[in-house]
Structure 1
């Protein structure tokens, strides 16, 4: 599916699909190259037996997980002010799961702006951003609790685009992480895009970043 989409006019732009006419590579050649790359990755990866368990829960309240249980947490919370992830997979839904209804995510960071604490430290941000980072604090607090001392946290975040400007989520999240006795090792910017208002007025640059931190102790 990924190869077919790359060889079509479909363009994944964040959480939306767009039609962009452009020169297209031949599918067979592109697909063969992708398969060879996957096989090469499998050959070069040392696989080991492990135990895996999926648990349904809330990242802000992980009651089912004991203290200091994990050596590593890798996660990518829904990005600030952009939660419609299902739309970008509409082609896959139509082809393979035509009877499945898809809509808004049931719960995500910042979903309830009515329950914001008064006098919170994010008062200069839009209400959605304030609620988002208040919830992010709760999630990071839980991550700290379930990580072993010396364990690593890898968090993928992206800037939130609002009519008033861009909220630099990576810097704010890194500051929150530092407040919870983590050592922020580095912030790796993996993507940048121009943020606009009314489609033509540039208001800044939105970054997609990976924050890498270590739990002290």
Structure 2
């Protein structure tokens, strides 16, 4: 049942998407590649005509790949930033409307905004002129709505990040001061590039639905989904969600310490253990408790025979490796799913104090089918 496919290892990363138009509008380090989705669609939906879901939609790779194939897809995420990125990438646009909006923004007369309400732990990532420009354009976007607003807002988010001092190192956002371009010019160039990208990506007519939602309780009809392609947060890498805190504060009003992109998974260490015989770390118990509830919701949403494809990674702890690729199929079995294949995509060492080896971790694609 387990098969090594290390040749597909890069497809478990976002790296291949960096050169693809539209896919690269929002760089999502923790995502996977378009081509992984295409392989799964070739295998499990070669004729189309299915409903695909991603309950951890991230930056929308699954949905955008489905749109290339003309396959209806449905995405959910607890993060408004993830929802914006996914929606902006998959919207149907009128190029002339976007051109007019970009022109209007480029001609807007600057008025210095008050930045006194911005907390210091956000200000530290920007020079004053950049932050003032970002807040000015954020105010200007209130004059737009619908798909045009999504387009302009995602461009603003990504431009603000690239013109900042933010350096995202794993789960930590560091200040790395450097020369930054004039924000207005950078933002306008970014929007014009995005506009050109739209004509470079060929898509087919289909329905794409994106909204904020908790994977444990989704607003979708029972027995509606044929195929789930997703990547839940990796065990003990949950803290990486905090690296989007500045963006969520500036553009969605989220308190800077409130939550990250997949806030709920594994965050309640008081949870009753799902695998009491394993003596797992408390955060692992919480993780598997949430994953059990997610799988239960997948069972409700999926029709009999539906396929789940989960990209997951083992957890590295000082005392041991927790093998998600072993325990998740056990949970799935209890929730009515049979594991058909486990493809090992990457192998990495778990170390303690950066040098002492604890064991080997695997990053896997687990394919399950609803009974």
Corresponding residue to 2:226 among 68, 71, 83:
71
Higher gyration radius (CA): 2
1:11-22 matches, within 5 Å, as: none
TM-score by length of 2: 0.42
Deviation per CA, 1:110-134: give whole Å up to 9, x if none. Answer: 11112x12x6433510000011101
Q: Which secondary structure does the structure 2 equivalent of 1:53 belong to?
A: strand
1:108 aligns with 2:300: no
1:65-214 matches, within 5 Å, as: 65-85=220-240, 104-105=259-260, 107-114=263-270, 116-117=271-272, 120-122=274-276, 124-214=279-369
| Separation (CA, whole Å) in 2 of partners of 1:2 and 1:14 | 18
| Separation (CA, whole Å) in 2 of partners of 1:152 and 1:14 | 31
| Separation (CA, whole Å) in 2 of partners of 1:49 and 1:73 | 20
Deviation per CA, 1:2-55: give whole Å up to 9, x if none. Answer: 46x9xxxxxx9865799xxxxxxxxxxxxxxxxxxxxxxx68xxx532101112
1:67–1:146 contact (8 Å) kept in structure 2: yes
Q: Which residue in 2 is equivalent to 1:33?
A: none
| Separation (CA, whole Å) in 2 of partners of 1:152 and 1:190 | 19
| Separation (CA, whole Å) in 2 of partners of 1:189 and 1:17 | 30
Cα RMSD after superposing both structures: 3.3
| Separation (CA, whole Å) in 1 of partners of 2:241 and 2:289 | 25
Cα distance, 1:83 vs structure 2: 2.0
Deviation per CA, 1:124-178: give whole Å up to 9, x if none. Answer: 1000001110111000010011011111101111011111111001110111112
1:109–1:136 contact (8 Å) kept in structure 2: yes
2:274–2:288 contact (8 Å) kept in structure 1: no
1:78–1:108 contact (8 Å) kept in structure 2: no
CA 1:170–1:14: 2 relative to 1, 3 Å? farther
| Separation (CA, whole Å) in 2 of partners of 1:86 and 1:127 | 19
1:53 aligns with 2:212: no
Superposition misfits of 4+ residues, deviation over 3 angstroms: 12-18, 84-90, 99-104
| Separation (CA, whole Å) in 1 of partners of 2:241 and 2:336 | 35
TM-score by length of 1: 0.69
CA 1:136–1:87: 2 relative to 1, 3 Å? closer
Gaps of 5+ in 2: 1-16, 20-26, 28-167, 175-200
CA 1:126–1:207: 2 relative to 1, 3 Å? same
Q: Which secondary structure does the structure 2 equivalent of 1:66 belong to?
A: coil
Deviation per CA, 1:73-120: give whole Å up to 9, x if none. Answer: 111111101024357789xx89xx9x5697651623111112x12x64
Compare the two structures and name the one with the higher strand fraction: 1
Gaps of 5+ in 1: 6-11, 19-41
